Structure 1
Amino acid sequence: MARVRSGEAARPSARRPARRGELGARVLVAVPALAYAVAIIVTGGWVFALGILVLGWAALAEIGTAMARARPPMGAAVLATSAAVFGALAFGPSAIAPAVALSLPLAFGLYLFRRDRRRAAWGTAVVAFATLWVGVPLAHAVLLRELDHGAGLVVDVLVGTFVGDSAAYLGGRALGTTPLAARISPNKTVEGLLCGIVGGTVAVWVAGLYQDWLAGTDALLLGLAVAVAAPIGDLFESLVKRDLGVKDLGRLFGAHGGVLDRLDAALFAIVVGYYVARGFGFA
């Protein structure tokens, strides 16, 4: 059954009974996933870095599989992404750009060991694309976690992202009539998008009520930034999937799809969240 994403209009009523079974499957996956996220966020440090990197490796594998025709040497993306994440933890923001740049010579080095080097240009492009899409946001997640009150800030970004996604889905079902980007994701609506932005913004503001270190105005601005960035990440993945002709990029989370299907919005939101937090003076 096709998975309905944020801001999407309702499917025909005949499909609704199938959704009940899918909801149960999603809950079974969501509970351990939530426990995993809480454990690594609370612990922080190298545990957090390694915990998100495991998800990153899975996401890179999904990209490599989806773009297998280009025969990309995804080991280069794995190494570059790992360098970006661990470099961000050990050396800070200055380590990210060199790690991303490393993806190209690493890809070249791996091609030297191949007898068949056809599509080397396309394969190298996939490596660079994957490192930018996955590695850079994960490195920023580490940077965000290392800020003052980093655990709370990571939670705020995730709350804004996923509550916004849910609000967009519900708003799209109830009110959606105007297509948002029909050629990319036909079921997403402008009304769903607006509901998602409002829902995500309010969610972070409410979370800020329990965080005496986050002012109410700052919480609203952080929530708004996250709620705007998240659907852009969602649409970006939709564009990639439409171009590749696939419904989901993976099945690691069962009814939830793959890692990228679940984290597409968060990958964009976490980067924006980090720079907004830095703008507020968190260091």
Structure 2
Amino acid sequence: VKARAREVDEEGNEIYPVDYSTSEKIEVKPFGPIFSIRAEPKEVEPPFTVGVVVTIMHQAPVPPFNISNLTLRVIPPPPNEPKVIPLIDIFGRIVLRPGRSIRFPRPVYVEISEETAGGIREIRAELEFWVMGMKKVLVTTTNVTVIKKTQVNISANVPSEVLNGSELRLNAEVVNVGSFLAKKVIVLGELGGEKSVVEVGDLRPGEFRDVELVLPVRGAGNETLRLRVFWNNIYPPEQVSNSVEFTIFVKKGGFSARSILLLSIPLLVVLGWLIGKAVKRSATT
């Protein structure tokens, strides 16, 4: 409240201005019942049906007025459909009197489909009601974590024996056997310290891809061939892997056809020289 005046003396002359203003703080609270929701469970892997526990309490500090025409809307993350529930008691009344509360005997169930984006998603609830001829809407929220993990398998036909110094060519197959996209798929082959890497890309659920791995063969005896496939999940977005191992016997290298050919050339030259010499001797005789 602002109040200003001017002091005057007995003759009515103004002396100086005076400010009589004063103030007092008041707290303005929105009218409405206490309204809360809770999702159960907090982490889901779609498709999943989430239960939303709803509590509505018409108690202090709200004013003592009846509220009527209560309607509850529970709105899951898109593209899922909301649930709309008119709140009616066992007598068909839609009035909530002061000091009363509504606790649902069971959760309100909403669907979380496979098309729901992964991550921390919001479930929103709106409580619409009328009080003293006015329409009111209260809003509250809770979160649910949408997990979108998948599984990628790798397989290959592997020979039991290979020759040292040769190349091992493998045809491997990777397949997404899960329900969600596998991102940035990579295949790694390892044998005796040698490695071969093939970038596959993304794999949709049920999709497979054939890849060729080429590994130089080094060593002797039993060697471990390890095939690993790496990919990123949608959520959580960390990189994960899957692997298989095979035992291959590496034989010592022998003479290849090329080596035999190279070694035979000098022998053929000497043999030709000897034959030519023998022919000349026979002609002289």
Report if TM-score (shorter chain) is over 0.5.
no
Relative to its length, the structure with more helix (as a share) is 1
The bucket for the TM-score relative to the shorter chain is: under 0.3
Higher relative contact order, chain-length normalized (CA < 8 Å, sep 6+): 1
Structure 2-normalised TM-score? Answer: 0.18
Structure 1-normalised TM-score? Answer: 0.18
> Greater CA radius of gyration, 1 or 2?
2
